[in-house]
């Protein structure tokens, strides 16, 4: 009999059936769960199953010990979609409770609309060991009320559980544990660093943005800035990778033959890695973030991160460490000024790139699993 504990994961990660009838899910989450199977026995992943064809950034589970339990998708922007949370509540709760009884550990990934009823439910299971991952920005003040409620609940009702958060917070309670988001194996990190070590910053410079193509990620300001920077000869292009949430934002720039902005939509891992390998900088002018995995992924290829002054990011990257550049503000003018000033630091880029690669081992799955074993399971 295995000595490893069993685990239930409850998340909002979208799943689909591919053309072969196999279940696939969002790649970053499934990669992480595939790695967790090395320290847990059977893993049940309870998450929504959507109709329609999956996009490129989806993968299969790689271990038979990971069992997917489908939920009916709920939530959305329309009132009808929001009412679906209540309508399908009995069905989803039944399946969650059914699986919870079978396992040693419960892992919930917050914040999400599921958290409104899942977190109070988990409080009932006092004899189950619980680990909640808060993937958003714990210190953010302006967030939806549902996220505020979840954060309050985690702070005040899960003292006997473990809550992992991005970065650190002031006056944190002992059950809140700062954790990095894993995204790469040690083997991948070593390979990426080999590629990044050969990056040349002497010629034209390429930038990339990776994330949802929408307003909250700062995309309108970023596109406007690069449109105005189009005449700078040492800028080659800006790659924009991710789900196109608002077509109106990109339509003006996507239709221009002279634009140096290239839209890729969602890419699979292999193609995304070629973008990282080609790019000299990754720029994320988001209004708020937890700690985006794409920063660590790009940095492993020697891309220099450019980002707003968000605490969880500043703990890893900042100007004083010479491993990243901070946007003083996320307006188009602020982005323009930051990029125009890059020419003055060109002689330091190789140092910044090497420094960005140095700390990436902290984001390996191996380090993540070791910390889970030592600080959560065995604690």
Q: Residue 195: which CATH number?
A: 3.40.50.2000
Residue 38 belongs to some domain of the structure: yes
pLDDT score of 1: 40
Residues 192 and 256 placed together within one structural domain of the fold: yes
d(CA 94, CA 347): 60
pLDDT score of 25: 98
Residues 159 and 268 placed together within one structural domain of the fold: no
Residues 370 and 321 placed together within one structural domain of the fold: no
Residues 77 and 223 placed together within one structural domain of the fold: no
Residues 247 and 358 placed together within one structural domain of the fold: yes
pLDDT score of 257: 59
Residue 320 belongs to some domain of the structure: yes
d(CA 291, CA 167): 8
Residues 136 and 224 placed together within one structural domain of the fold: no
The model carries a pTM of: 0.92
Q: Three-state DSSP class for 21?
A: coil
Q: Where are the alpha helices (DSSP H) in the chain?
A: 27-36, 79-87, 89-100, 115-124, 145-157, 186-196, 219-228, 247-254, 269-278, 293-300, 311-314, 332-340, 349-358, 365-372
The number of angstroms, rounded, from the C-alpha of 43 to the middle of its chain's C-alpha atoms is 21
pLDDT score of 339: 94
Residue 2 belongs to some domain of the structure: no
Tally of structural domains, the chain:
2
Q: Tell me which residue range forms the domain holding 96.
A: 7-182+364-377
Residues 277 and 153 placed together within one structural domain of the fold: no
Strands, sheet with 15-17, edge to edge from the N-terminal-most edge strand: 15-17, 23-26, 58-59
Q: Is 302 left (phi over 0), alpha (psi -120 to 50) or beta?
A: left
Residues 214 and 256 placed together within one structural domain of the fold: yes
Residues 311 and 342 placed together within one structural domain of the fold: yes
Residue 15 belongs to some domain of the structure: yes
pLDDT score of 18: 95
List the structure tokens of 371. 């910390």
Q: Which residues of the chain have pLDDT under 70?
A: 1-2, 76-78, 80-82, 167-172, 255-259
Residue 1 belongs to some domain of the structure: no
Residues 108 and 239 placed together within one structural domain of the fold: no
Residue 116 belongs to some domain of the structure: yes
């Amino acid at each position: 009999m295995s000595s490893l504990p069993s685990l239930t994961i409850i998340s909002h990660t979208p799943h689909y059936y591919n053309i072969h009838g196999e279940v696939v899910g969002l790649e970053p989450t499934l990669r992480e769960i595939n790695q967790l199977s090395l320290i847990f026995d059977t893993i049940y992943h309870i998450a929504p199953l959507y109709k329609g064809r999956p996009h490129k950034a989806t993968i299969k589970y790689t271990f038979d010990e990971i069992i997917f339990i489908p939920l009916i998708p709920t939530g959305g922007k329309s009132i009808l979609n929001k009412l679906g949370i209540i309508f399908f509540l009995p069905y989803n709760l039944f399946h969650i409770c059914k699986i919870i009884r079978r396992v040693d550990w419960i892992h919930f990934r917050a914040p999400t609309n599921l958290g409104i009823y899942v977190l109070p439910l988990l409080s009932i299971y006092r004899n189950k060991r619980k680990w909640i991952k808060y993937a958003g920005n714990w210190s953010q003040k302006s967030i939806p009320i549902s996220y505020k409620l979840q954060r309050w609940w985690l702070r005040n009702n899960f003292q006997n559980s473990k809550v992992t958060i991005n970065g650190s917070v002031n006056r944190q309670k002992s059950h809140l544990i700062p954790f990095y988001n894993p995204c790469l194996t040690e083997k991948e990190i070593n390979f990426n660093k080999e590629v990044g070590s050969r990056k040349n910053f002497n010629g034209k410079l390429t930038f990339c943005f990776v994330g949802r193509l929408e307003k909250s990620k700062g995309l309108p300001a970023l596109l406007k800035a690069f449109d105005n920077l189009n005449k700078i000869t040492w800028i080659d292009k800006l790659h924009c990778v991710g789900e196109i949430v608002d077509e109106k934002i990109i339509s003006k720039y996507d239709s221009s033959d002279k634009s140096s902005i290239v839209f890729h939509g969602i890419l699979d891992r292999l193609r995304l890695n070629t973008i990282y390998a080609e790019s000299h900088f990754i720029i994320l002018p988001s209004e708020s973030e937890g700690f985006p995995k794409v920063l660590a992924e790009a940095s492993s290829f020697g891309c220099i991160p450019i980002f707003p002054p968000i605490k969880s990011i500043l703990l890893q990257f900042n100007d004083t460490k010479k491993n990243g550049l901070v946007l003083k503000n996320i307006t188009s003018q602020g982005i323009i000024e930051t990029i125009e000033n890059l020419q003055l630091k060109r002689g330091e880029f190789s140092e910044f790139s090497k420094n960005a690669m140095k700390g990436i081992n902290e984001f390996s799955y191996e380090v993540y699993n070791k910390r889970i074993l030592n600080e959560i399971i065995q604690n």
